[in-house]
Chain A
Amino acid sequence: MSSATERQEYPLEREQAATSPQWEAGRRFRVGAPERPVLTLVAVILALAWALPLLWVLTGAFKGHFDIVGPNRHFLPLEPTLQNWQNLVDPQGRAVSILRSSLNSFIVASISTAGALIISSMAGYAFARLPFPGRGPLFIVLLGTMMIPFEVILVPLFLQFHRLGLLDTYPALVLPHMVSVLGIFLMRQFIQNVPRDLDEAARIDGANAWQIYYQIILPLTRPALATLAVFVFLEAWNDFLWPLIVVGSPGMQTLPLALITFRSAYSDLDYGTVLASVVLAVTPPLLFFVFAQRLVIQSISRAGLKG
C-alpha cells in the first residue's frame, strides 16, 4: 500500500491515481473497519449469479453434445471430454480454422497497439510541447471528430478501403484502430504534466526534439502508454462490426467473427465445440485481467471518454 508521502514525490503517478479508481482502496477506511458479513453474503451471491453464465460455458466446453442440450444434464461434466477441443484444432474439412483466426486476432491487436502507441505519443508530444502554426485549432478539430461515432463513417470508410484495394487485408483491420484521437488526448494531457525543466535541461545539453521525445518523454509517460496499450488491444481484439464489414474470406476472420462461423457450423451437432471456441476467445483478455487488474481498470475508466 502506497502512502501519501510516497505519492507526493511522483507527481505523474499522483496525477494518474487521482483520475483513476483505486482498485484496492482499503486505505480510505479507518484502519480495522469491521467487515460486513451479511453484505458480503449478498455480494457473493450476486457475483455467483454474474459468473454463472461464464461457468456454464466453461464446463460445457468439456461436455459431449447431449450432455449440453439433452434433458438429463448436469452443471459439471460427468464424462469430461476433450473432443470439442480436438474439433477446434482439426475442423475436418470445414472452412473454419480457430488457429488461423486466433493468429489473425493476435496479429491485428498487436500491430494496432504498437501503431497506436507510436502515433499517439508522437502526436501527443507535438501538441503538448512543440509550437507550430494552427496547433490550437487543429486540436479542437480533433476533439470535434471524437464526437462523431465510428458507425457514422462505416460506409464511407469501407468505400475508402475499397478504393485503396485493401479490403480483406490486415491493413484494413489494423489502420482504423491505429488512429486513436482518444490516445492523443491522453498522451497530450500526460506529457503536459511532465515538468518542463526536464526538456529544458536536455535542450541546453544539446538534445534535439527527437532525443527529448525518445529519451525523456517516452520513459516518463510509461503509465499512460500502458493504459493506452491495454485499451487499444482490447478494442482491436474484441471488435466485431468493422471486421464483419471488411473481412470477406474465412482465412482473414478474427476470433469474434470466427465464433459466429462456429456457431452456424457446429451448434446442431457439437454445441460443446461452439462453447470451446467461446472459451478460447475470452480467455486471453480475462487472463490478462487477472494479472494486471489495476491497469485494465484504468483503461476501462478512460475508455468511457471515447463515448
Chain B
Amino acid sequence: MSTAEQNRSRWPKSLTGFLFLTPFLVPFAAFWLWPIANGLYLSFTDANMLRAGEANAIGLENYSQLLSDRVYRQSMGNTLLFVVENVPVLVIGGLLLAVLLNEPLTARAGIRAVFVAPYLITGSAVAIIWQFVLDPSTGWLNSWLSSVGLPIQNVLSQPDQAMWAVTLITLWWRVGFPLLVILAALQDIPQDLYDAAKIDGAGAVQRFRTITLPLITPVLIFVLIIRLIDSFKVFAQVYLVTGGGPFGSTRVAIQYLYETGFLDFRTGYAAAIGWSVFLIILVVTAVQLLILRRVRIYE
C-alpha cells in the first residue's frame, strides 16, 4: 500500500475480513493469547494469589526449584508412569477392538456403540461409577470375586496397583477414540487386497501383518501421539477416584498444578509447573516423531 489511492481501493476489502474475525479475535486475545503471555511472565515471578499485584521477578528460580521439589518429581514420575501404561494399553486395545468390530458380526453397529458410549460420559461420573465397582467393601468387583471363591482385592489402596486401576478405567472411558479412528482406517483398505492375498495362500495373521498393519501405520501413529498428549494432561479420573493417594502414589502433574495454584495460591510456581508439563509434552512428541520416522524408513 504505497499510495493513498491504493489504500482506498484495498482497505475496505481487508476491513471486511477483520470485521468477520473480530468476534473471534477479541475473546481469543483476552482468553488465550493474554493468559499465555501472562502465564509465561508469572512463571518467572514469585506471584501469590494472596498478595495481589506484588509479584517480583525471580528469574529461573521457579524452574530450578521444580528440579529439587520432591512432590513435583513424584507427581511427574506418576504422570510418566501413567503415560507409559496408558498409551500402549489404549492404542493396542483400540486396535484389537477395531479389528474385531470390523469383522462381519451380527448387530455390529449396536456392539460398536457400546464401546463408544463411555466416551460421552463426564469424568466425575466415570469416577463415581468405578468407585462403585472397585470399592473394597461395597464394590461389585469384590462381591463377584468372592462369590466365585477368589480373594478380595483392594486395588485402589495398593500403591503399585492403583495406577493400573486408573489405566483400566481410562481404557474403559476413552477407548472410543482410537477404536473409531482405527476402524475408519481399516474400512479404507480395499477388499481386493485381501482377496488377492487369500488366492496367494496368505493366512489371516500374514494378511494382517503384510496388508493391514502397513496400511494403518499412519493412523496408528496419529492415535499414539494424540493419546500421548492426552495422557500427560490426565487429571479428573485420577483425582476423583484415588484423590492422588495412597501416599501420593497416583498424584499426577495437573493435580499438583491445581493444588499449588488454587489451594496453596502460589500462582508463579503453578504457572511454572504448567509450562514444564508443556515442555515435556513437546520434547516427548518430537522424540517420538523422530523415532517413528526412522522406523518407517527401514520398513
A binding-site residues for B, Cβ under 8 Å: 20-25, 28-30, 33-37, 39-40, 42-44, 46-47, 50-51, 53-54, 56-57, 60, 68-69, 71, 73, 118-120, 122-123, 125-126, 130-133, 135, 145, 147-149, 151-160, 175-176, 178-179, 181, 184, 209, 213, 234, 237-241, 244-245, 255-257, 259-260, 263, 271, 274-275, 278, 281-282, 285-286, 289-290, 293, 296-297, 300-301, 303-305, 307
Query: Which chain B residues numbered 98 to 135 have a C-beta less than 8 Å away from chain A?
Result: 100-101, 103-109, 111-125, 128-130, 132-133
Cα–Cα distance between A245 and B39 once the two chains are bound (Å): 16
Quick one: CB contact mask for B279-295 with A, threshold 8 Å, 1 for yes? 00110000000000000
CA distance A256 to B21 in the complex (A): 33
Nearest Cβ distance between residue B59 and chain A, in whole angstroms? Answer: 19
Q: Are A281 and B125 in contact (CB under 8 A)?
A: yes
* 16 sampled A-B residue pairs with Cβ under 8 A: A57-B132, A69-B137, A125-B20, A132-B15, A145-B32, A151-B254, A152-B36, A155-B270, A159-B38, A160-B31, A209-B16, A286-B121, A289-B120, A293-B113, A304-B177, A304-B226
Pick the residue among B14, B119, B226 that contacts A307 (CB under 8 A): B226
B118 to chain A, nearest CB (A): 7
Residue-wise, chain B 8-35 has the 8 Å CB interface mask toward A (1 for contact) of 0000011111101101110110111111
- The verdict on A303 contacting B132 (CB below 8 Å), with A50-B172, A179-B28, A238-B123 known, is no
In the complex the two chains form, is B23's CB within 8 Å of A285's CB? no
Say yes or no: B277 contacts A151, CB within 8 Å: yes
Partner of A29, one of B107, B125, B191, B262: B191
A contact face: mostly helix, strand, loop, or mixed: helix
Which of A53, A156, A184 lies in contact with B129, CB distance below 8 A?
Answer: A53
**Beyond A152-B275, A240-B124, is A145–B105 a contact (Cβ under 8 Å)?**
no
Q: Name B residues whose Cβ lies closer than 8 Å to a Cβ of A.
A: 13-18, 20-21, 23-25, 27-28, 30-36, 38-39, 42, 49, 97, 100-101, 103-109, 111-125, 128-130, 132-133, 137-138, 140, 143, 172, 176-177, 180-181, 183-184, 187, 191, 222-223, 225-226, 229-230, 232-233, 235-236, 240, 254, 257-258, 261-262, 267, 270-271, 274-275, 277-278, 281-282
For A73, A156, A245, the residue with the greatest tally of chain B CB atoms inside 10 Å of its CB is A156
Cα A21 to Cα B24 in complex, Å, equals: 30
Contact across chains for A148 and B278 when beta carbons are under 8 A apart: yes
* Among A123, A240, A244, A257, residue most surrounded by chain B Cβ atoms (within 10 Å): A240
Given contacts A275-B132, A300-B116, A160 and B124 within 8 Å (CB-CB): no
Q: Shortest Cβ distance from A21 into chain B, in angstroms? A: 3
CA distance A18 to B230 in the complex (A): 25
Q: A43 CB to closest chain B CB, in angstroms?
A: 5
Q: Is B23 touching A160 in the complex (CB atoms < 8 A)?
A: no
Q: Is the CB of A282 within 8 A of B13?
A: no
Judge whether B184 and A68 touch: CB under 8 Å.
no
| Contact status of A44 and B111, CB under 8 A, knowing A145-B32, A152-B275, A278-B128 | yes
User: What B residues does A160 contact at CB under 8 A?
Assistant: 30-31, 34-35, 38
Interface of B is mostly: helix
Which of B24, B31, B120 meets A285, CB within 8 Å? B120
A-B contact count (CB 8 A): 269
- Chain A residues contacting B270 (CB-CB under 8 Å) are 154-155
Apart from A157-B35, A256-B123: 18 A-B pairs, beta carbons within 8 A: A36-B105, A42-B100, A43-B108, A50-B172, A54-B118, A54-B129, A130-B17, A131-B13, A151-B235, A154-B261, A238-B122, A241-B236, A256-B124, A259-B128, A282-B122, A282-B125, A296-B116, A301-B180
Chain B residue at smallest Cβ distance from A237: B122
Which of B14, B114, B133 is in CB contact (< 8 Å) with A131? B14
B109 and A293 contact, CB distance less than 8 A: yes
* Nearest CB on B from A275, distance (A): 7
Cβ B116 vs Cβ A158 within 8 A: no
Report how far A234 CA is from B117 CA in the complex, Å: 12
Give the complex CA separation of A208 and B212 in angstroms.
Answer: 50
Assess the B39–A179 pair: CB atoms within 8 A. no
Collect the chain B residues with CB atoms within 8 Å of residue A145's CB. Answer: 32-33, 36
Chain A residue numbers with a CB within 8 Å of B117 are 51, 54, 286, 289
Residues B138 and A68 in contact, CB atoms below 8 Å apart: yes
Contact B281 A155 (CB under 8 A): no
Q: Which of B34, B104, B223, B274 contacts A304 (CB 8 A)?
A: B223
A155/B104 contact (C-beta < 8 A), A122-B21, A149-B229, A179-B32 known: no
Q: Is the CB of A152 within 8 A of B39?
A: yes
Please report the C-alpha to C-alpha distance between residue A47 and residue B222 in the assembled complex, in whole angstroms. Answer: 26
Partner of A122, one of B24, B140, B230: B24
Given A22-B187, A132-B14, A240-B123, are A35 and B105 also a contact pair (CB < 8 Å)?
yes
From A176, A179, A245, A256, B125 is in contact (CB under 8 Å) with: A256
The reply to whether B191 and A304 form a contact with Cβ atoms under 8 Å apart is no
Known: A60-B132, A297-B116. A132 touches B17 (CB 8 A): yes
Docked-complex contact A178 and B39, CB < 8 angstroms: no
A266 to chain B, nearest CB (A): 11
Residues of chain A with a CB closer than 8 A to B34's CB = 156, 160
* Cα separation A244 to B259 with both chains bound (whole Å): 12
